[in-house]
Amino acid sequence: MNATCSSTSSAQMRVGIVTGNVEVAPDCWRLEIRCPEFARSATPGQFLMLRCRQGLDPLLSRAFSICDLIYEGGEPVGLVVLQVVIGVGTLALTKRVVGEEIGFLGPLGNPYDLGTPDEHMIMVAGGIGAAPFLYVARFLRARSAEQRLTYLVGGRNKDFVYLADEIAALGCDVQIATDDGSLGHQGYVTQLLDPLLASGVRVLACGPNPMFKSLASLVEQKRAEGLEFACQVSTEESMPCGYGACAGCVVPLRSDNHPDGFRYGKSCVEGPVFPVEAIRWDLIRSIH
Ligand SMILES: Cc1cc2nc3c(=O)[nH]c(=O)nc-3n(C[C@H](O)[C@H](O)[C@H](O)COP(=O)(O)OP(=O)(O)OC[C@H]3O[C@@H](n4cnc5c(N)ncnc54)[C@H](O)[C@@H]3O)c2cc1C
Ligand code: FES
């Protein structure tokens, strides 16, 4: 097996080696890729565009968060992708076998702004929106052993709650919500957030657009009550290219300079992380 990955162009096209690919929950797979130069440059909240199969079908790569890094002797040598099977691309990824080459582009996009260790960091995940938070939590814990970290995770039922044990093992407070009450609080993950909001906290969120919409209205309400805190969301719009060439990933962004009060921004290059107040949630597509 090739011990390192190669970069096929000056920037970010890479070829790594699959070192693991296992189903860890129903239709949810953990894919490990060895690629030290990618791992050394990745920051929490960034993503990559993965070639799901070798060959040209499907033509377009698919976007995935950097879920975690793999370390050897304390050095980052690879990455983990946590992926849920949705359609042709994600199904093809489940067939990837250990030892084969896998092409990808990245790291891409703007990471989360992780603020300072004196802030109470609250990570809010809906469904597979959990994926970026293992690396976020690991990074934060390495930065400070004392910082208060909370992970709020929601899913349809107990089978769709991801990374709770792994993130708890890093010394984070974990609270769970499920739609059907099969695990944790019965209801939405934003209901767990409400009592924790206070001035000086920092909220990082990733999940489906309906979750972001209720998060945005909760944040607006709390700020109207006088609380001051930062809240960033990582959007998961479909991304045909991932590097700004196609405009398939646009989101409506508030803009006083435009007559309609908004403009479209490419979430792959301007995001995927945005302050929650930057997005016009009343205009966002609700396909997820
Ligand atoms: C920045 C970013 C990070 C992401 N991180 C992860 C991750 O870590 N793990 C993970 O499992 N997924 C992640 N996704 C979503 C992932 O890219 C899609 O699930 C994947 O592209 C679907 O490809 P497919 O070929 O299997 O499905 P397709 O055949 O392309 O689509 C099948 C159906 O699913 C719908 N669909 C397409 N994209 C999405 C989506 N994002 N959400 C819901 N429905 C969709 C389509 O409209 C279509 O109806 C991320 C997306 C973005 C933009
Ligand atoms: S995915 Fe093509 S411009 Fe963003």
Q: Is residue 198 domain-shared with residue 103, that is, in the same domain?
A: no
Surface-to-core class of residue 102, CB atoms within 10 Å of its CB (0-12 exposed, 13-18 middle, 19+ buried)? buried
Q: Residue 5: pLDDT band by 50, 70, 90 thresholds?
A: low
Q: Is residue 50 domain-shared with residue 117, that is, in the same domain?
A: no
Give the model's pLDDT for residue 178: 98
> d(Cα 53, Cα 177) in Å, to the nearest integer?
35
Ligand 1 near 64 CB (within 6 A): yes
Residue 19 has pLDDT above 60, yes or no: yes
**Ligand 1, pocket-test mutation among 49, 68, 236, 239, most atoms within 8 A of CB:** 236
Read off the tokens for 45.
């909240």
Q: Is residue 89 domain-shared with residue 167, that is, in the same domain?
A: no
CATH number at residue 122: 3.40.50.80
Q: Is residue 86 domain-shared with residue 159, that is, in the same domain?
A: no
CATH number at residue 43: 2.40.30.10
Domain range enclosing 70:
6-108
Cβ atoms within 10 Å, residue 256: 6
Residue that finishes a domain, picked among 91, 108, 125: 108
Global confidence as pTM: 0.94
**Ligand 1, pocket-test mutation among 52, 64, 95, 269, most atoms within 8 A of CB:** 64
Ligand 1 near 84 CB (within 6 A): yes
Residue 10 has pLDDT above 90, yes or no: no
Average pLDDT value for residue range 18-37: 97
Distance from Cα 44 to the centre of ligand 1, integer Å: 19
What is the tally of structural domains in the chain? Answer: 2
Is the residue at 279 inside a domain?
A: no
Q: Is residue 134 domain-shared with residue 79, that is, in the same domain?
A: no
Reference 170, options 207, 121, 203; nearest CA is 121
Q: Which residues pair with 75 in a beta bridge?
A: 72
> d(Cα 195, Cα 149) in Å, to the nearest integer?
15
Average pLDDT value for residue range 243-255: 95
> d(Cα 282, Cα 96) in Å, to the nearest integer?
39
Is the residue at 13 inside a domain?
A: yes
Is the residue at 247 inside a domain?
A: no
Ligand 2 near 238 CB (within 6 A): no
Output the CA torsion 193→198→199→205 (10° steps): -10
Give the number of the ligand closest to the Cα of residue 108.
Answer: 1
Give the model's pLDDT for residue 237: 87
Give the model's pLDDT for residue 122: 98
Q: Is residue 104 domain-shared with residue 116, that is, in the same domain?
A: no
Q: Residue 1: pLDDT band by 50, 70, 90 thresholds?
A: very low
Residue 11 has pLDDT above 70, yes or no: no
Residue 8 has pLDDT above 80, yes or no: no
The phi-psi region of residue 97 (left if phi > 0; otherwise alpha if psi is between -120 and 50; otherwise beta) is beta
Residue 20 has pLDDT above 70, yes or no: yes
Is the residue at 242 inside a domain?
A: no
**Residue with CA closest to ligand 1 atom 11:** 83
Q: Is residue 161 domain-shared with residue 72, that is, in the same domain?
A: no
Q: Which of 87-91, 136-140, 245-249, 257-261 has the lowest mean pLDDT?
A: 257-261
The answer to whether 128 and 38 have CB atoms below 8 angstroms apart is: no
Q: Is residue 70 domain-shared with residue 135, that is, in the same domain?
A: no
Q: Which of 4-13, 121-130, 143-152, 200-209 has the lowest mean pLDDT?
A: 4-13
Q: Is residue 32 domain-shared with residue 52, that is, in the same domain?
A: yes
Q: Is residue 148 domain-shared with residue 190, that is, in the same domain?
A: yes
Q: Which atom of ligand 1 is nearest to the CA of 91?
A: 26
Distance from Cα 116 to the centre of ligand 1, integer Å: 32
Is the residue at 287 inside a domain?
A: no
Is the residue at 253 inside a domain?
A: no
Is the residue at 278 inside a domain?
A: no
Q: Is residue 26 domain-shared with residue 90, that is, in the same domain?
A: yes
Contacts with 219 (C-beta within 8 Å, 6 or more apart), sequence order:
197, 203, 231, 276, 277
